[in-house]
Amino acid sequence: MVEETIEEIQSEYPEAELTVDIQSDTSVNADRGLRYAVNHALENAVVHDDHKTPIVTVVVKETAGQGEIQVIDSGPVIPDVEIKVLKEEVSTSTTYHGSGVGLWVMQ
């Protein structure tokens, strides 16, 4: 699933350098939601990178008996306020909230 998603993103963004590092034979029962989240993470990593050639690596591994997918990119870091919203360290309201649902979906 991860490799297929990388191929899709690569065809949309040929300038990007996308690689996958599968570190173990990790098997995951993936539904459309996981595919959507991985696709969204990869597309965000490419689109929000201000380099001429965005570099994105996807690492797939097993940690404590669970599959783990990491998206590592060369773009800017996620702003602290967005992390705090995800971790529910700050209250959201109609006037104060995160900048979108993208990070929330990937959580």
Summarised one tens digit per residue, pLDDT across range 14-45 is 999 999 999 877 777 778 888 888 998 999 89
pTM for this entry: 0.74
* 43 φ, ψ (degrees, to nearest 5): -65, -45
49 and 99: one domain? no
Asked if residue 45 and residue 12 are part of one domain, the reply reads yes
Pairing mode, if any, of strands 17-22 and 55-63? Answer: parallel
**Is 47 a residue whose pLDDT tops 70?**
yes
Residues 36 and 69 in one domain: yes
* Domain limits for position 98: 77-107
> Residue 99 is encoded by which pair of tokens?
């900048």
Rounded CA separation 93/6 (Å): 35
Instruction: Tell me the residue type at 43.
Output: E
Q: Can you list the alpha helix ranges (DSSP code H) found in the chain?
A: 2-12, 32-47, 80-86, 102-106
| Rounded Cα distance, 29 and 42, in Å | 20
Per the structure, the count of domains in the chain is 2
